[in-house]
């Protein structure tokens, strides 16, 4: 299935490399510049590592590390030098790249932004993380939904970031928009290892998708990230996985054509279709309603858990952040779509 990690590439294959990048320490503009240069060098390593590679994926926080600093001088803009460097590296090495930036937000806290850039240097996907890892992360909640883009070899690619992948609705949304390959970038540390693995697998199976997921790796002197790059097939089985080796690039050939085939011909466990066509053996076309109270309540703005009164952590003060005073700004149009 993986073509020996993509060494033997099929006509329908998309070879993906997951970079278990060394966790950086970035506290100054000079360190930010040096880390951007290191990421560019790793793009070149990916191409030298494997001539068949179509897409190289860097973890969340690859550029900024895990300090959670929001200093304006460390934040990135889409027209700034760091993104320009990533674009140029993709062009130079004729490869697609997935990158992570902490993006300046003139209206509040920075956004945790993911980018997919093609081999012509064009941003094909722009995504703001919908679910920052509260109460630990200070980032503004994303307000542009879950985008999907056309990827290499006619594939459809979605991107979710770290904690996003713990919500089954996130991968389902990507699949609902057509994603056949769902990328998940993360900065997770070892306590999340088990949940990381099972959610990568379940996100694949529940959506008949292939997932490609990777964390930062190694230590910055304070935090220890786990690497753990892994590819999952549409039935939830693990195609390939890495461990904790810093800067290793885990590779596999993914087959979006098999995803398309399964979504078209599977009867048993065709989960994305059957969600809205339940019981179609008994009733024509199945029941096409929304029996899920939580969905109805979210849309109506009345979502409330039965145990809401007992929930103790409701802001970032346990992690040293001031209680917020601003309200959510609401949706904005995506500049790439």
What number of H helices and E strands is found in the chain?
8, 14
Q: Are 93 and 47 in contact (CB under 8 A)?
A: yes
Just list the catalytic residues: 60, 129, 162
CA 325 from centroid of its chain's CA atoms: 29
3-state secondary structure of 179: coil
Question: Pairing state of beta strands 249-254 and 14-19?
Answer: antiparallel
CA 275 from centroid of its chain's CA atoms: 24
Phi, psi of 185 (to 5 degrees): -105, 145
Q: How far is CA 72 from CA 99, 105, 217, in A?
A: 20, 9, 26
Q: Are 115 and 99 in contact (CB under 8 A)?
A: yes
In 199-267, which ranges are E strands?
210-215, 217-219, 224-226, 230-232, 238-241, 249-254
CA–CA dist 150, 299 (Å, integer): 29
CA–CA dist 278, 256 (Å, integer): 26
Closest CA to 240 of 193, 199, 200, 195: 200
CA–CA dist 228, 63 (Å, integer): 18
3-state secondary structure of 182: strand
What does the block give as tokens for 192?
A: 């999340």
């Amino acid at each position: 299935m993986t073509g020996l990690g993509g060494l033997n590439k099929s006509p329908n294959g998309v070879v993906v490399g997951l970079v278990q990048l060394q966790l950086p320490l970035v506290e100054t503009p000079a360190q930010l510049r040096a880390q951007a240069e290191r990421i560019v060098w790793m793009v070149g390593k990916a191409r030298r590592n494997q001539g068949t590679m179509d897409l190289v994926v860097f973890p969340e926080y690859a550029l900024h590390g895990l300090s959670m600093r929001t200093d304006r001088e460390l934040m990135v803009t889409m027209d700034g030098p760091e993104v320009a460097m990533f674009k140029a590296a993709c062009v130079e090495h004729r490869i697609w790249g997935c990158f992570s930036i902490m993006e300046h937000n003139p209206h509040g806290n920075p956004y945790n932004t993911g980018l997919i850039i093609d081999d012509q240097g064009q941003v094909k996907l722009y995504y703001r993380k919908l679910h920052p890892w509260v109460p630990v992360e200070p980032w503004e909640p994303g307000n542009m939904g879950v985008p999907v883009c056309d990827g290499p070899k006619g594939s459809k690619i979605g991107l979710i970031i770290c904690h996003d992948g713990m919500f089954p609705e996130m991968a389902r949304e990507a699949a609902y928009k057509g994603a056949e390959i769902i990328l998940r970038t993360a900065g997770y540390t070892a306590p999340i290892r088990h949940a990381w693995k099972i959610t990568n697998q379940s996100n694949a199976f529940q959506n008949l998708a292939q997932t490609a997921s990777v964390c930062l790796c190694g230590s910055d002197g304070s935090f220890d990230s786990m690497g753990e790059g892994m590819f999952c097939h549409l039935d939830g089985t693990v195609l390939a996985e890495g461990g904790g080796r810093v800067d290793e690039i885990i590779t596999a050939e993914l087959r979006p054509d098999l995803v398309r085939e399964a979504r078209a011909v599977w009867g048993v466990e065709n989960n994305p279709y059957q969600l809205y066509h339940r019981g179609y053996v008994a009733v024509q076309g199945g029941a096409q309603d929304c029996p899920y109270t939580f969905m109805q309540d979210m849309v109506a703005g009345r979502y409330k858990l039965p145990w809401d009164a007992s929930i103790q952590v409701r802001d970032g003060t346990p992690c040293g952040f001031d209680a917020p005073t601003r309200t959510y700004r609401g949706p904005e149009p995506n500049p790439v779509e």
